Structure 1
Amino acid sequence: MKDWCNFQGIELQFIQPGKPTQNSLIERFNRTFRNEFLDVYLFENIKQMKNYAEVWMWQYNNERPHSALQYLTPRDFLLKYGKITLDNAHDFPTFQQNSNNSNNKLSTKHSIFECA
């Protein structure tokens, strides 16, 4: 990894020893991603994994209740506090599926994944 980063011009920065809270948010996400995605699915190829990851990310950002949002979904949280209304909820950018996934079928209620 170090060689690849040097080749790409990326400077690695590490958290200070004994200061795990410097990286707590990403560690929390990494644990969630590992437990809810990587440990759950088997992938036949990288393209399939990327497609599944996009669907999972959309669900995570739009339909999954978040403890930081009083265990509401992001949409419900925004609706509850008047940041969006039902009339314009579809205009909020994170509630739209990534256009690169137009060939995939997304059914977030039942977690159906179809990858090309």
Structure 2
Amino acid sequence: MQAVVDAVRFAFGLESAYWDDPAAFRTHDAVYDHFRQGFSPDLAAAMTAHVLGGDGDVATWVPEQVHVVELEASQALVWFPTPASFGRAGLWDLADYMHVHLRREGAHWVVDWAKDRSAPPVR
């Protein structure tokens, strides 16, 4: 269970790590590879397009608490509260909770999708 929590926190910290030193990522592929460490190919591509798009808005945050709802050998579902700064009155107008699905890739977990919702998932 802790590996899933750590994977979520790691993945959601990748954007901040990029913005700490964007010049360290000299090519599109380097940025994509960076995000691919914690996200599925589709999400890594979307994150790459976002940061290279030049708007400078941070789209992710590292959640303080991650609640594991489902944990199987190859997939997991977690949730965490959306910070107010990203919520309905904030930068991204997100609902109050993020539902995040992860899947196992080899020995590690990657975020497969993330959706904002008005309530935590039901166990």
Q: TM-score, with normalisation over the residues of structure 2?
A: 0.24
Structure with greater proportional strand content: 2
Q: Which has the larger radius of gyration?
A: 1
**Which has the bigger relative contact order, CA under 8 A and spacing at least 6?**
2
